[in-house]
Amino acid sequence: MGYQGHFRVWRGSAEGGGLEDFTVEVNEGEVVLDVIHRLQATQTPDLAVRWNCKAGKCGSCSAEINGKPRLLCMTRMSVFAEDETVTVTPMRTFPVIRDLVTDVSYNYRKAREIPAFKPPEGVAPGEYRMQQVDVERSQEFRKCIECFLCNNTCHVIRDHEENKESFAGPRFLMRVAELEMHPLDEADRVQQAQSSHGLGLCNITKCCTEVCPEHIKITDNALIPMKERVADRRYDPIVWLGNKLFRRS
């Protein structure tokens, strides 16, 4: 049955703010987002929170709960003790707009910097043939709901604003891997992953994989294989020698 839960919610804007305490009803089977909505409906009508599908499919309601990057709609209240204070704060890596809503435009900028799928020349629509086993690798990455929790947690940019310029973040490095592993994509993406999207900054601590609500193995299946492809190309001694001898850059 229902109980009175203790919540601390960060409220404020780009100019500043802080944690505010609330006592609010919690019912059986609810998730954190339900409680945030109850706060809106009963105590704080102007509490800003971004959400949409409420089923873990759209990736809108990303925030940090007790310091952990999570989706508000997929965090059940039953994982907390009834007397535990639940602290909800906005994602830290992105600038706050208001309350729990952050400016995630960094992610949309990075999405634009990844060259799009390059369709195979001379293959008409309807003539694409691919084997299930070959599409499955990229399909895993296409499960991504773009909640940006991986980019939020990644230490390369979490506390290093200066890296945002050169680093696409796990989400978009995974997008590069997805296209690189697409059976019919015709672009060469290996060099760019390192030179334009900052793959070298990733030191595979797997924080992104840990927070992924879709349980995509970002590090093992996307980032490490990309690093290996880069290494094959860049550090291959014969290629290196060829480049030296024939002055190819």
Partner 1 sequence: MPELERHSFDVLVIGAGGAGLRAAIEAREHGMRTAVLCKSLFGKAHTVMAEGGIAAAMGNVNSNDNWQVHFRDTMRGGKFLNNWRMAELHAKEAPDRVWELETYGALFDRTKDGRISQRNFGGHEYPRLAHVGDRTGLELIRSLQQKVVSLQQDDFAETGDYESRLRVFQEFTVTDLVLDDGRVAGAFGYWRESGRFVLFEAPAVVLATGGIGKSFKVTSNSWEYTGDGHALALRAGASLINMEFVQFHPTGMVWPPSVKGILVTESVRGDGGVLRNSDGKRFMFDYIPEVFKDKYADNEAEADRWYTDPGNNRRPPELLPRDEVARAINSEVKAGRGSEHGGVFLDVSTRLPAEEIMRRLPSMHHQFKELADVDITAQPMEVGPTCHYVMGGVRVDPDTGASSVPGLFAAGEVSGGMHGSNRLGGNSLSDLLVFGRRAGAGASDYVAGLSARPVCSDEAVAEAERTAVAPFSGSDAGGENPYTLHMELQQAMNDLVGIIRRAEEMEQAVERLEELKRRAATVVVEGHRQFNPGWHLALDLRNMLLVSECVARAALLRTESRGGHTRDDYPSMDAEWRRKLLVCTLSGSSVEVVEEPQVPIRPDLLELFEHSELQKYLTADELEG
d(CA 19, CA 11): 6
State which residue, 56 or 225, has the beta carbon closest to partner 1. Answer: 56
Interaction between residue 59 and partner 1 (CB under 8 A): yes
Residue 165: count of CB within 10 angstroms of its CB: 9
Task: Render the burial of 11-32: b for 16+ CB within 10 Å, e for the rest.
Answer: beeeeeeeebebebebeeebbb
- The least CB distance from residue 249 to partner 1, in Å, is 23
Q: In this structure, what token pair is assigned to residue 234? A: 């860049």
Cβ pair 193, 176 in contact under 8 A: yes
Q: How far is the CB of 204 from partner 1 (least distance, A)?
A: 25
Find out whether 35 and 114 touch, Cβ atoms under 8 Å.
Answer: no
Q: Does 56 bind partner 1 (CB under 8 A)?
A: yes
On whether the CB atoms of residues 47 and 99 are closer than 8 A, the answer is: yes
Cα distance between residue 188 and residue 166, in whole Å:
19
Site string for partner 1, 160-189 (x = CB under 8 A): -------------------x--x--x----
Q: How far is the CB of 244 from partner 1 (least distance, A)?
A: 33
Would strands 85-89 and 62-65 be described as parallel, antiparallel, or unpaired? antiparallel
Amino acid at 23: T
Question: What residues numbered 196-235 form the site for partner 1, per CB under 8 A?
Answer: 214-215
With 0-12 / 13-18 / 19 or more C-beta atoms within 10 angstroms meaning exposed / middle / buried, residue 132 is exposed
**Nearer to partner 1 among residue 24 and residue 155 (C-beta):** 24
Find the binder of partner 1 among 20, 25, 30, 210 (CB under 8 A). 30
Q: Residue 52 Cβ, how far from partner 1 at the closest point, in Å?
A: 5
111 binds partner 1 (CB under 8 A): yes
Member of 20, 25, 146, 210 binding partner 1 (CB under 8 A): 146
CB of 2 to partner 1, least distance (A): 11
In this chain, which of 122, 131, 162, 248 binds partner 1, going by CB under 8 A?
Answer: 131
**Separation of alpha carbons 57 and 90, rounded Å:** 19
Catalog residues that contact partner 1 under the rule CB under 8 A. 13, 27-31, 34, 40-41, 45-60, 74, 76, 97-99, 101, 104, 108, 111-112, 115-117, 119, 125-126, 128-132, 135, 138-139, 142-143, 145-146, 179, 182, 185, 214-215
